[in-house]
Amino acid sequence: MKSKALLSKLLAIFQLTRAALIFTAVADSCTLVLLRFPDEKTPHHRWLLLSMTGLASACLYAFGMSLNDLLDTRRDRLFAQWRPLPSGRLSQHSAMVIALLLLMLGLFFGAMVGVVRGEADVPWSLLLCLTTAMLIVFYNATGKYLGAVGLLSLGAIRGLNCMIGFPRSHGLLLPLILFTHVTLISTAAYHLEHKRPRLKSRDLLLVTFSLLGVDGLLLDLAFWKNLSLVSHLSLFIGPLLATAIYWSFVLATLRTKKISLRAKGPRIMLVGLFWLFVLDASLLAANGQWSATAFIGGLGVLAWMAFWLLRRWGRGVTVERLHYRFARQGV
């Protein structure tokens, strides 16, 4: 009985932190550490740098997911009783301890990234971790109720996270890709799931113009850092192809009648998160870094295996789900 209770508690922690999806954040930050142009030297202690970077990203992602469930406990008691906190499989006190521990570890590993990189002047990696953590808190506490502002915050969190291991990166193309991709898939899923507050025309306009403005700024910064994008046009090939394939999937999903419109949102979001591995790997492949591409692909395989195992494991946890009908009057 004790072992069964322990396994149930362990499963609850994995579900609280979204353990399978942690690999997406790790892949993003490690990709920028691995990305190298022909005239650049491989950094010293490369694998130690990758390890510290991956751990910092993993802890910050898990912190964000834990904080999300903590702040949404009251709502989940009504609409998602199978989650760890409302089901009673994990106490709020335990979840708070886990979230704080993950935050402290994320900042610690961020500081260690700076030590490995030899940052003697400004601790850029730690500052990026702090900024990412603050955006995570802002989104979970307020941003997700502010429509377009929250959606843009999600994209910014991904963009900042990927730069933890290489703060002064030349490769601003990856933050641009991640910011754009995550903002767009979050907007699509939010709209399809009819989340509240409902998106209005001004929200869609704000998302559109913010994407154009931020992406344009990142391209300008790339030129300012003497990155000749013309001489590295091949870098665009992989991500553009991967993006085209994903949005073809989105269009096919929207056209299918086998699943409800509301159910299409989570599917687009889940596939979009796993597609981050494809985007990361496609950038490295376009740069001719095949061993690094295989490494990111391996992380994707691990993520899918962890997702499948946790899903199978979670089937043993039965919590009665309540279904509600909402009157559409006044909507």
Helices (H) and strands (E) in the chain, counts: 12, 0
pLDDT digits (tens, 9 = 90+) for 222-257: 766 655 554 566 788 999 999 999 999 999 999 998
Name every residue whose Cβ is closer than 8 Å to that of residue 15 and which is 6 or more positions away in sequence: 83, 84, 310, 314
Lowest-pLDDT choice from 59-68, 71-80, 241-250: 71-80
Backbone phi, psi, residue 199, to 5°: -70, 135
pLDDT band at residue 299 using 50, 70 and 90 as cut-offs: very high
Is the per-residue pLDDT at 328 higher than 90? Answer: no
Burial 171-201 (b: 16+ CB within 10 A, else e): bbbbbbbbbbbbbbbbbbbbbbbeeeeebee
Quote the pLDDT of residue 324: 32
pLDDT digits (tens, 9 = 90+) for 180-220: 999 999 999 999 998 989 999 999 999 999 999 999 988 87
- Could you tell me where the DSSP H helices lie in 173-260? 173-192, 201-224, 234-255
pLDDT band at residue 47 using 50, 70 and 90 as cut-offs: very high
Quote the pLDDT of residue 170: 61
- Rounded Cα distance between 15 and 66, Å, is 9
Burial 272-305 (b: 16+ CB within 10 A, else e): bbbbbbbbbbbbbbbbebeebbebbbebbeebee
Give me the chain's average pLDDT, please: 89
More reliable by pLDDT, 39 or 29: 29
- Rounded Cα distance between 269 and 264, Å, is 9
Is the per-residue pLDDT at 221 higher than 80? Answer: no
Name every residue whose Cβ is closer than 8 Å to that of residue 186 and which is 6 or more positions away in sequence: 151, 154, 155, 269
pLDDT digits (tens, 9 = 90+) for 115-149: 998 887 889 999 999 999 999 999 999 999 999 99
